[in-house]
Chain A
């Protein structure tokens, strides 16, 4: 038995360490550690509730708009005015969300995870060395990938332009505020979005989808490994739009889709570097403090569980939940794209399945973005005045590019009394819980091959297939059951 530590895991957002135990050339156990403490939820306490979308976007510079939107939804719920937000506001939020997903997925495939399979430069030097292990694309295909790397970065930037045009510069958009978005859209705004969305859609159809399918065909065994054993959780879009390709529910590996029930979510810290008190993990609220030494701890990430299960979230979960909750139309599109990759839904819970699911979701999301842009009414307002309630409590549920995102705000005396975020990577990269159950990423790498020369290719490919975002995963600190009694 050997213990191998990978630190830092690169091409993920933030500070991640993965430790694996290897026996007979296979991973038998893994630990995923989030290494940097931040504490954004503590920062929010005592502030003007309207500041939450501004501050929570700073949780993550890669997917800030997801946090901004979730915060707005939570605040509007707390003020009892979700329904009062004008349709234009919801449509623009939907478009921003969809464009952000598509752009982010493109970035993951060509710039982050993709470099496990191809290189943006012919000679692997500097930032792009060493040479890709286990290279299976032929020269012509590699040339194509290099051209697409350049085009991907440009397409990703186009997505940022759409967001900037709608809600002011990206990252950290100032135009995501409770009550809607301040822009009163004009016809020229709508056209400017549509031009750019059309180009993104073209890139996804012409390059991203075929490239993702190609990798599936070249690396078919990666459709057979890297499963986290398939408990999937998704929240749906959250914004009020009929046509979103995002659905809510919990799909356990053995059964049927359950409607989402937030009281089934709990969050534990038995292996996380936080101080625990007797009541923790139960309905009695208690404050957690960061702890610099804790013998059994190994991560700043907490361990959220749904009904005690370590649910996987992200594009794969979005597809699985959508396959049961979605319309016929949703499913027929997905089935064709799977067939093109030589995959099917049964084999999709795998390393390469995650990458393919991401490409498929990018395609569905960019179409939704166009629908939202088309539906915006020029000249109509997209926001209403937001009055801060003296007392209130609200939950904002949405999907970030990396999966299910929850914001929960409690307002007392017109200030934030507590704020809690459960972000996608908190689910996927969570450590073990009090029952010893590992998180999805920890489970997914067990069984993967590691050659004698410590070739960790399969492990890293699988870790990166989750598109981990550590800034999102490690934030903080108040432990209560969601929807439970509050102080």
Chain B
């Protein structure tokens, strides 16, 4: 018996960002980019991207046709927003065309989509786009939608950039009807399956930390804590998953974790090469809990 194909339509919008999230997503190995774009990502499961300005063939108003239709609620779709939402006066000159500024377009689409994926730390929490002094007056998607009185289902996939497995895994789970936003997200609206543990927890240099063996300069063996590593306060499964076909990752080459999945990135974690100062180091898994209780 032929398997029924489950398919999910996606409108993928670039707001204030750098396209790094797209680049990272299409670094996926299993499934690889051509499978995502041309075939099924799993037998019977298709991700049908209707609009993605970096990849699509069409241009101008023809390219925008699926966006117009989606914003009018013609069909169910998942909205992927890459980059933060600019709400300052400058934003009203910009956009993707069709006579609509970015904030209004995002609002219209969010009103009709089944769920919104805030892809990357900028979309999730403002990220680098909203870094001090926040020149474009940018906000994360959830924050922005709330300010417009919209209570939309938002899935945050932070990371600067997010790992391709986090993105494709989440999209596939949603497409397959196996994702439940009330069950599978943490307090920061991140899928627990990918963001459930501290980088510190499974870090290969953890033994050095426990024994107090710290690297004093770049290239030294030992824990990178004193060189500014934010792994002890950052959630993500990087130490187990590794990056780019799982060949390596930040701490794997001796570079301190920059805390790029955190809502606090980049302003509230301290300088990237400065040792964390404001914490008693957390018991694994409790740090953000404590901070929340203190009201950060």
Contacts and interface: CB of A to CB of B under 8 A. Distances in A.
Interface in A317-338: none
Interface in B88-110: 89-98, 102
Given A6-B60, A10-B58, A183-B254, A15 B133 contact: no
Contacts of A61: 17-24, 161
A129 B266 CA distance: 39
A426 interface: no
A273 B135 CA distance: 14
Contact of A168 (B92, B102, B250): B250
A157 B253 contact: no
Interface string B243-274: 11101111111111110100000100001111
B231 to A, nearest CB: 11
B160 A172 contact: yes
Contacts of A128: 56-57
Given A35-B94, A164-B249, A383-B219, A127 B49 contact: yes
Interface in A91-133: 111-112, 115, 119-121, 124, 126-130, 132
A182 B219 contact: yes
A250 B102 CA distance: 39
Interface of B: 14, 16-24, 26-27, 29, 32-34, 37-38, 48-50, 52-60, 62-64, 86, 89-98, 102, 128-129, 131-133, 135-136, 160-161, 217-219, 243-245, 247-258, 260, 266, 271-274
Interface stretch (A148-156, A253-261, A302-310, A342-350): A148-156
A115 B138 CA distance: 33
A11 B247 contact: no
B274 to A, nearest CB: 7
A443 interface: no
A15 B14 contact: yes
A179 B218 contact: yes
Interface of A: 5-15, 17, 35-40, 42-43, 46-48, 50-51, 54-55, 58-62, 64, 111-112, 115, 119-121, 124, 126-130, 132, 149-150, 153-154, 157, 160-161, 163-175, 177, 179-184, 192, 273, 290, 292, 300, 381-383, 385, 456, 460, 471, 476-477
A52 to B, nearest CB: 10
Contacts of A17: 97
B24 to A, nearest CB: 6
A130 B62 contact: yes
A165 B16 contact: no
Lowest 7 CB-CB distances: which A-B pairs, in order?
A: A61-B20, A39-B135, A169-B243, A7-B97, A182-B254, A164-B244, A174-B255
Contacts of A119: 57
A59 B18 contact: yes
A153 B32 contact: yes
B153 to A, nearest CB: 25
A37 B38 contact: no
B94 A172 contact: no
Given A5-B60, A154-B34, 14 more contacts: A8-B59, A10-B57, A11-B55, A11-B56, A13-B19, A35-B93, A61-B20, A161-B245, A163-B244, A168-B249, A169-B249, A273-B90, A300-B93, A477-B135
19 contacts: A9-B59, A37-B136, A38-B129, A43-B135, A48-B274, A55-B131, A61-B19, A62-B18, A111-B55, A130-B62, A150-B38, A168-B248, A168-B253, A172-B161, A173-B255, A174-B250, A174-B256, A177-B273, A184-B219
Given A150-B34, A171-B23, A476-B135, A126 B18 contact: no
A37 B94 contact: yes
Given A15-B96, A61-B24, A163-B244, A124 B16 contact: no
A60 B255 contact: no
B97 A58 contact: no
B56 A127 contact: yes
A378 to B, nearest CB: 14
Contacts of A11: 53-57, 59
Contacts of A177: 218, 255, 273
Of listed A17, A54, A112, A183, residue having the most chain B CB within 10 A: A54
A172 B260 contact: yes
Contacts of B248: 164-165, 168-169
A366 B100 CA distance: 43
A385 B227 CA distance: 11
A166 B244 CA distance: 12
Given A8-B59, A17-B97, A290 B135 contact: yes
Contacts of B102: 36
Nearest to A196: B247
Contacts of B133: 42-43
B136 A38 contact: yes
A129 B136 CA distance: 34
A37 B135 contact: yes
Nearest to A477: B135
Contacts of A169: 243-244, 248-250
Contacts of A8: 53, 59-60, 63-64, 96-97
B226 to A, nearest CB: 13
A160 B32 CA distance: 13
Contacts of B56: 10-11, 127-128
Contacts of A7: 60, 96-98
Contacts of A160: 27, 244
B161 A121 contact: no
Contacts of A36: 16, 86, 94-95, 102
Given A47-B271, A157-B32, A382-B219, A175 B250 contact: yes
A166 B129 CA distance: 27
Contacts of B29: 157
B176 to A, nearest CB: 20
Contacts of B37: 120, 127
A129 B57 contact: yes
